[in-house]
Structure 1
Amino acid sequence: MSTTLFRGGPIITFGGPPSDAVAVSNGRIVAIGDEARSWATTFDRVVDLDGRPLLPAFRDGHAHPLHAGTNRLELDFTGIHTLDGTLDALRAWRESNPDDAWIVGRCYDPSILPNAFGRAEWIDAVCPDRPVTLFPTDNHAVWTNTAAMRAAGIDRDTAEPPLGEIVRDADGEPIGMFLEFGGIGLFGEVMPKIDRAMQDRGLVEAMRAMSAEGIVWAQDASVRLDELDVYLDGASSGIATCRINAAFRADPERWRRQRDGFVDGRRRAAEPDSNGLVTANTIKFFADGVIEAGTGFLLEPYEDAPHSCGLPNWSADGLAEAVRAFDADGFQIHIHAIGDAGVRMALDAIEYAQRENGRRDRRPVIAHTQLVHPADRPRFAALGVIANFEPLWACWDDAMLDLTFPRLGPQRSALQYPIASLASGGGRISFGSDWPVSSHRPLDGLAVAVTRQNAAGEPVGGWLPEERLPILQAIQAYTEGSAYQAFDDDAGRIEVGQAADLVVLDRDITAVAGNEVADARVDQTWLAGQPVYER
């Protein structure tokens, strides 16, 4: 029996009585306050907090850890926010990796490109001799050079792909920009695949990165069956320091053929070798794309493209039937929905599944929920739908100012990320990051959730300040809220009987100004009562 006493710092208990001690035994919280100090005559470990706070560990309700980890091993544009800087990084990679027959770059900032669209000749000027495919942070497009288009056999006569778009000049010539999974899929047969060795290295990097930021559970929101094997092997070999729930992505054209494989994947994840660290209980759907690329599905046309309401990935009836089928298989439903029409279509599909399949504890999730029509807001609570927000996005970043606002116009822009509105209406809220789309640090997201400001403190008073959350409620969304999403009802809080998933911060973020929350650092992360990170 392993025992640990944490003492000497504030314990964040979401409204419980003030305390400065917690006792842990065999991975569970067994006592709080004065009872904790006397729970055992001696403890195997004593952690002196020295005034630092002890919080429930964080849980990321929507991320892509394996992809984020492997991205760090490729050409990674994270942190570069200019076109020149992006092309310079590509040039440097080309020169230092002469054996790369095909260059793949990840996570460029789409706001560096006019209307988020790049041209092949800009990459040609840096790398004309080898195919290049560059993916933006949102991963809903690919920007290529001429050599890549030639390798894929793409020219002006190439037909538009289903569920995607080839961006063309006025004369019909492809410019080198391809949207959504249909457009990206045009390169699927010729672009190099990430091999298993790189996936394994990526998993190590992802686990290290998550534990260092206090994350003990993450919803990997798009997993192939072969990627599930990477997670399962990582759990059985001791690499895993964070629990993962894998969500298999349902393909609009193949989902019926996918069902048996997904059920088998869920069964394999439930076997003892995963040590309870990996589950596969969720199915992911993409209702639409992203507003920045003009592919988020809107009820009314885009301001800058009055001919277009975006690009839904499913028909309304097709999504409803697929959601009903996977719900009948007992899976949790997790739907990416960005535009107000995408959100409505997702709510309609979930409502249909509930009506057809009867009552049960479903906890369906709509992820991102960027633009929600006011008429649809009460439906989240009524249908028991969890709104998973990426709070870091709810601010004036470059993408919002340069791409989103012009595309939505002022009236719809003021309806974005209604976090407080859905919570006050009785809806369940969870937080996530969509890493590597954006920072996986929960502390970064919490700072925006409580201020609705960017890192420069803009705008004064916050953007749509009525949607700010108090700090304790924001922490709950990143802990208890995401634990509820995970069906982990005995985790996410510091209470007797709860899992001892804990994080020690270097300062009390409940006692600082909201924009200072991001300055805090994780000192320790504990998973089921065992330390997995110490700064």
Structure 2
Amino acid sequence: MSAVAVTVFAGGTVRPGAGLAPSTALAVRGDRVVALDDAALALRTAPGAEVVDLAGDALLPAFGDGHVHALFAGLERLGPRVSGLRSVEAVVAEVARWAAAHADADWVVGGRYDPVLAPGGDLDARLLDAAVPDRPVVLDATDHHTMWVNSEALRRCGIDAATPEPAGGRIVRRADGSPLGTLREWDACDLVRAHLPARTDAERVAAVAEATATLAASGVTWLQEAWVELDTVPAWLEAARQDRLAARVDLAIRLDPDRWREQLPLVRDAAADVARLAHPRLTARTVKVFVDGVLEGGTATLLEPYLPLPGDRAACACPHPGRGPAVRPAEGWGLPVWSGPELRAALAAYAAAGFRPHLHVIGDAAVRLGLDALESLRPRGPLPARRAVLAHVQLVDPADLPRLAALGVVANCEPLWAAWDPVQRDLTAPRLGPVRTARQYPLASLVRSGAHVSFGSDWPVTSHVPLEGIQVAVTRRPVDEPARAPFVPAERLDVATALDAYSRGSAYQAFADDRGVLRPGAEADLVRLSADPHAVDARDLHAVEVRGTWCAGARTA
């Protein structure tokens, strides 16, 4: 027997997960679960044993976040705190307050404003000019696919009426062709991002440390960092060297559709740097691909046309609501980021280099394009071994639902979105119409199909707290509106299945089959909760407190 002391958790309810019966106690030695029930209780008298009295609390497998932006979340706290503000006036006031308090800042950079603050999500630069007329102001929307800037930012970045429309983005314009102040998707937002002052590695390390600690405090022990630029990898390495990662992190390095070939050796080198460090909480085995945009912005790709929002200037046959000719793009209505041949070629090249793909797919055309590209990898080896990820899968054509299970693809879903909220009411549902609206977030259908389902938060787009997402998965109601009618109630999950997606499902995504279920030999990733989620009203799951998190047997929160 190992000389490492044992820790026994007793005095509450142990929920091992995966449909297993509750236990009375659990014992951990080192980084592994070694016993349950009476066998665990018997170890209380072992030399050096520590006993943790659960005092009626519940012990469960810890959560994993299958899609999160921890670095963005940490850096966001350095700028104006506009997240959650409910009016344009409140956002402008906060920008003015921050700018006055940071008179030495050359740029005012922050996030995340709510796009429903303006009709169609289109916000005017002049509103921000009233707060800060002499310095550039740049705000990201909650979806991180849209940007709101002031006139000085447009001027400094050279964006005016003569600026051509970027291929992979949109400059929202006034009737005279001048830029309004709202930019959509990569190529448009990058016109501004190319001019932003660079964050220092010290700022990034601090942001990573704060964000992973925040996630650990909510019960998370592993996360997929779902958008990593190559120049930020050194900060992740330094955070690991300083042992400032409070959770395990896998880095998904973003591929540029125009530069992915020249990126390949750089991505390989970055992953090799991470591998050489050999830190137990940092890996870089994934590449991130944005296949499309977002439905609320009209940039996700659809098999059928968008419907026009009130005030759109063109018929609903337009690929972009209110803009462009009534010609269906080859890859779908909306704003395709990749062509099918380029996506297949990129995935093949990076799969050959040992990377697994993590594909952002929101619209039904993007889901199909992603599935087709993944299917093209089959001759290179079994797809389940790659654990390729389709992230978000917000709208799936019924014909494509069975394909995820058949291909062994992980469906990573953000359950907190599966409710009738203002974004859905004002921007998404009007663009889709009732039939497609009712097909969104097919959580139960994916589970029934046999697909591997993992959950994530997409923080800071939405809340990082897993129990809030689990509540919405079970109720299909907004956390702050528990009495609202459920959104597509046929797609509700039971508590056990929702918990499983946030634990065992994310562990599968992480290539960690010895996590997500508490049984002898499993890695000791644990979360202590103030109540058993199976025993509380589903509308109160968000109020259950996290009272401790253990990653590989070590307490992290």
Q: 1:282 matched to which residue of 2? A: 286
Matched AA of 1:532: T
Matched AA of 2:413: F
Query: Can you list the C-alpha shifts for 1:395-431, whole angstroms capped at 9, x where unaligned?
Result: 0111111111111111100000000001101111000
Asked if 1:31 corresponds to 2:35, the answer is yes
Task: Map 1:98-113 to 2 at 5 A.
Answer: 98-113=103-118
Aligned CA distance change for structure 1 residues 296 and 532 (closer, same or farther; 3 Å): same
CA distance in 2, matches of 1:244, 1:299: 35
Q: 307, 314, 317: which one pairs with 2:318? A: 307
CA distance in 2, matches of 1:146, 1:457: 37
Query: Can you list the C-alpha shifts for 1:443-484, whole angstroms capped at 9, x where unaligned?
Result: 110110100001244565511111111101100000000000
Matched AA of 1:332: R
Q: Is the 8 A contact 1:5 1:43 kept in 2?
A: no
Aligned CA distance change for structure 1 residues 358 and 462 (closer, same or farther; 3 Å): closer
Query: Can you list the C-alpha shifts for 1:169-188, whole angstroms capped at 9, x where unaligned?
Result: 22211111111010011113
CA distance in 2, matches of 1:417, 1:146: 38
Query: Can you list the C-alpha shifts for 1:62-120, whole angstroms capped at 9, x where unaligned?
Result: 00111111111222322212212111111111221111111112111111121011111
Q: Is the 8 A contact 1:245 1:281 kept in 2?
A: yes
155-164 or 365-374, which deviates more? 155-164
Q: 435, 438, 444: which one pairs with 1:414? A: 438
Matched AA of 2:281: L
Structure 1 runs (4+) greater than 4 angstroms displaced: 356-360, 458-461
Task: Map 1:215-364 to 2 at 5 A.
Answer: 215-271=220-276, 273-304=277-308, 305-308=316-319, 309-356=333-380, 361-364=385-388
Task: Map 1:140-155 to 2 at 5 A.
Answer: 140-155=145-160
221-230 or 88-97, which deviates more? 221-230
CA distance in 2, matches of 1:459, 1:529: 39
Task: Map 1:397-476 to 2 at 5 A.
Answer: 397-457=421-481, 460=484, 462-476=486-500
Q: 1:178 matched to which residue of 2? A: 183
Q: CA deviation at 1:435?
A: 0.6
SS at match of 2:51: strand
Q: 2:59 matched to which residue of 1? A: 54
Q: CA deviation at 1:160?
A: 1.4
Q: Is the 8 A contact 1:4 1:24 kept in 2?
A: yes
Q: 1:90 matched to which residue of 2? A: 95
Q: CA deviation at 1:497?
A: 0.6
SS at match of 2:556: strand
SS at match of 1:170: coil
Matched AA of 2:513: D
CA distance in 2, matches of 1:460, 1:252: 41
Aligned CA distance change for structure 1 residues 459 and 466 (closer, same or farther; 3 Å): farther
SS at match of 1:76: coil
Q: Is the 8 A contact 2:363 2:393 kept in 1?
A: yes
Q: 2:313 matched to which residue of 1? A: none
CA distance in 1, matches of 2:522, 2:16: 12
SS at match of 2:377: helix
TM-score after normalising by structure 2: 0.93
CA distance in 1, matches of 2:369, 2:335: 13
SS at match of 1:526: strand
381-390 or 180-189, which deviates more? 180-189
Matched AA of 2:9: F
Q: 400, 406, 424: which one pairs with 1:382? A: 406
| Runs (5+) with no aligned partner, structure 1 | none
Matched AA of 2:478: N
Query: Can you list the C-alpha shifts for 1:177-231, whole angstroms capped at 9, x where unaligned?
Result: 1110100111133221212121121112112211110110000011123322222
Q: Is the 8 A contact 2:15 2:21 kept in 1?
A: no
CA distance in 1, matches of 2:195, 2:274: 31
| Runs (5+) with no aligned partner, structure 2 | 309-315, 320-332
Q: Is the 8 A contact 1:155 1:174 kept in 2?
A: yes
Query: Can you list the C-alpha shifts for 1:39-59, whole angstroms capped at 9, x where unaligned?
Result: 352444211001100011110
Q: 1:393 matched to which residue of 2? A: 417
Q: 3, 7, 10: which one pairs with 1:4? A: 7
Q: 502, 519, 524: which one pairs with 1:500? A: 524
CA distance in 2, matches of 1:191, 1:460: 42
Aligned CA distance change for structure 1 residues 198 and 418 (closer, same or farther; 3 Å): same
Matched AA of 1:9: G
